Structure 1
Amino acid sequence: MNAQRKHNLLWTLLFAAISLVWIFPIVLVLINSFKQKAYISRNAFSIPKGKAFVGLENYRTGIEQTNLFVSFGWTIVVTVGAVLLILVCTSMCAWWIVRVNNWTAKTLYTLFLLNMIVPFQMVMFTLSKLADMLGFNTPWGLWFIYLGFGAGLAVFMFTGVVKGIPKELEESAMIDGASVPRIFFSIVVPIMRPSIISVAILEAMWIWNDFLLPYLTLDISKYKTMSIAIQYLRGGYGSVDMGAMMACLVLAIIPILLFYLLCQKYIIKGVLAGAVKG
C-alpha cells in the first residue's frame, strides 16, 4: 500500500468515525422508541428486550395523543408552500440582481446578505405581534415569514449561479422573440436546477424541523406542526412520556431524512455551481 492510499484510508476512517458520532443520537432515539418509558430513564443506552420492549405501543400512543397525522399534514403544507415560494421569488430576484447590476440591485443584494447575519432573537417578539396583526398566524401566512428569513441564503447561492450563465444564451432567445418569463423559465431555470435542488433541500430541512417560528406565529389552537405537537406529550408537573416522544421524533425524522437521501447528490453540484464566479 503506497503512501497516498494510506493517507486516503486514514481520512476515510476519520470521517467514518465522525459520521458515527453524528448518527448515534438518531440511533439512540430509534432504540428508545421501542422501550417502556420507565426503562428509558433507567438505562437509555440499553437494547430493548424482555419487559422493556413494547413493540409499536409507543408509536400508537404518540399518534393518538398528539393527533400526529393532522400535524403531519400542516407540516407538509408549511414546508412545501414556503420552499416553493422561496425558490420562485429568490431565483427571479437573483437573476434580476445580476442582469441589472446597478446601484439599486447591489444595495438589495447587500440587504439580503445582511439578512443572514441578523439574529432571530432580535426580531422574534416584534415578529409575533406583527404576524397576529397582519393575519399571518396561519400556515399560508407563515410561507411569507419563511420567505423573509430564507431569502438571504437562497439569493446568495443563486446569484453565483446566474453569474456563470452566458448572457449570449438569453440575448439569442430575446432576438428569437422569447418573452422575459419564457427566457427565465426555459433557459435560466434548467441551468440553475442543481442549485435550486440544493437550496430546496437546505430550506426544507430547516423549515421541517423548525419549532420556534411556528410556535411564535401560528394560532396553535387551530394549527400545529409536528415539532409543536410533539411538545404536547408533556404532562402535568413536568412529566414526559419519553417513549411516545421518541416514537414521534422517529416519525418526524423519517420523511425529511428520505428527502435528503434522495436529493443529497445535488448539494455539492449546487454549491459548486454557485461558486463559479464571485
Structure 2
Amino acid sequence: MKKVIMIIVEMITVVICLCYLFPIYIVLVNSFKNRQELYENMLALPQKFSFDYFTKAMSKMNFTRAFTNSFIVTVVSIAIIIVLASMTAWMFVRMNNQFSKFMFMVFVATMIIPFQTIMMPLMQVMGWARDTLHLPMLNTLGGLIYMNVGFGASMAVFLFHGFIKSIPISLEEAATIDGCNKFKVFWKIVFPILKPTTATVIILDVIWIWNDYLLPSLVLSGKELRTIPLSTASFFGQFTIEWNLAMSGLMLTIIPVIVFYLAAQKYIVKGVAAGAVKQ
C-alpha cells in the first residue's frame, strides 16, 4: 500500500513539475520558429532548428552591452550586500541590547513592504538628490546598484543574523586573546563560517537582480545602460510584436540564470536551513 502511495505521489510531482516547465518549453520551441510557424501552432516543434533568430535577437538587444551591464550591476550589488549585511548582522547579534534588537526588527519589517508602494516616492527622492545634491542616482548603473543594496540588505541581514547566533562566541574570544582586533575576528573567524548563508544570499540575489525589470526601468533611461530584461522590451513595439525574436531574446536572458542556479542549487536549502531557521 505504501509503495502504491509513493508511486502516486511521484506521478503527481512529475505532473506538477511539467506544468512549471511548460512555459519554458513554449519559449524554447518558439525561439527557433519564424513568425508564420509560431502563429500556426505554438506548441509544435520547429520544422528546422536554426540559430539565425538568436543572432538577430542578440543584434537587436545589443546583447553584449546589456549582458555587461547586468553582470556589473549584479556582481557589484551582491558583493556590497554580502559585506555590509554580514557585518551588520554580526554586530546586532554580539551587541544584543535593546537598540540592536530594535534595529534588527526594523530590517525585518522592511521585508514586508511591497516595492510598488514606494517606487514613486523613491524616484522623487532620487530626482531631488540628483538636482539638489548633484548625486548621480538616476540613469546611472551606480544609482541602480545603490538601490539594489538598499532593497537587498534586509533579507541578507535576516539570514546572516540567524546563522551567526549559532556560532559560539568562545571562538571569537579565543581569537581576541591571540591578538586579533574586531576586524580580524570577523574576517578570519566569523565570515569563513558564514559560507552556507553567503552562498544562499548570493543565489537568491542573483536570481532577483538579474531578472529584475521594474526597478531598472524606473532608474535607467539611456539605451547604452539597459540591462538584459530591459533589452527584451525592444521586441515589443507599439503596433507590432516580434514574437519569435522575443522568444529567442527571452531564452538568452534566462540561460545564464538557469546555468548558475543548476550549479549552485544545493546551497539554497542548506543555507536557509542553517540560517533562517535558527532564530
If the TM-score is normalised by the length of the shorter chain, which range does it land in? over 0.9
Deviation at 1:12, TM superposition (A): 2.7
Distance 2:32 2:224 in 1: 31
Give the structure 1 partner of residue 76 of structure 2. 81
Deviation at 1:88, TM superposition (A): 0.9
Which amino acid letter does the alignment assign opposite residue 269 of structure 1?
Answer: K
Give the structure 2 partner of residue 36 of structure 1. 34
Give the structure 1 partner of residue 183 of structure 2. 181
* Residues 36, 54 of structure 1: 8 Å contact kept: no
Deviation at 1:58, TM superposition (A): 1.1
Deviation at 1:179, TM superposition (A): 1.6
The reply to whether residue 226 of structure 1 matches residue 221 of structure 2 is no
The reply to whether residue 257 of structure 1 matches residue 245 of structure 2 is no
Distance 1:208 1:131 in 2: 22
Deviations along 1:212-262, whole A, 9 cap, x unmatched? 00010123344100110110122342x111111111111111111111111
Q: What number of residue pairs does the alignment pair up? A: 272
Distance 1:21 1:164 in 2: 39
Which amino acid letter does the alignment assign opposite residue 247 of structure 1?
Answer: S
Deviation at 1:130, TM superposition (A): 2.8
Q: TM-score by structure 1 length?
A: 0.93
* Residues 160, 275 of structure 2: 8 Å contact kept: yes
Distance 2:15 2:217 in 1: 36
* Residues 28, 247 of structure 2: 8 Å contact kept: yes
Distance 1:270 1:129, change over 3 A: same
Distance 1:32 1:147 in 2: 36
Distance 2:182 2:21 in 1: 46
Which amino acid letter does the alignment assign opposite residue 163 of structure 2?
Answer: V
Identity %: 38
Which amino acid letter does the alignment assign opposite residue 32 of structure 2?
Answer: F
Distance 2:200 2:234 in 1: 33
Give the structure 2 partner of residue 24 of structure 1. 22
Structure 1 gaps of 5+ residues are none
Deviates more, 1:135-144 or 1:85-94: 135-144
Give the structure 1 partner of residue 243 of structure 2. 242
Distance 2:17 2:69 in 1: 32
Distance 1:14 1:199 in 2: 31
* Residues 82, 146 of structure 1: 8 Å contact kept: yes
Deviation at 1:114, TM superposition (A): 1.2
* Residues 194, 270 of structure 1: 8 Å contact kept: yes
Aligned-residue CA RMSD (Å) = 1.5
* Residues 31, 53 of structure 2: 8 Å contact kept: yes
- How do residues 107-256 of structure 1 correspond to structure 2 at under 5 angstroms? 107-132=102-127, 133=130, 134-137=135-138, 138-237=140-239, 239-256=240-257
Distance 1:120 1:200, change over 3 A: same
The reply to whether residue 57 of structure 1 matches residue 52 of structure 2 is yes
Give the structure 1 partner of residue 91 of structure 2. 96
Distance 1:253 1:91 in 2: 29
Deviation at 1:6, TM superposition (A): 4.0
* Residues 85, 143 of structure 1: 8 Å contact kept: no
Distance 1:247 1:276, change over 3 A: closer
Q: TM-score by structure 2 length?
A: 0.93
Distance 1:248 1:145 in 2: 26
Distance 1:123 1:59, change over 3 A: same
Distance 1:188 1:12, change over 3 A: farther
Distance 2:169 2:57 in 1: 55
The reply to whether residue 13 of structure 1 matches residue 11 of structure 2 is yes
* Residues 158, 276 of structure 2: 8 Å contact kept: no
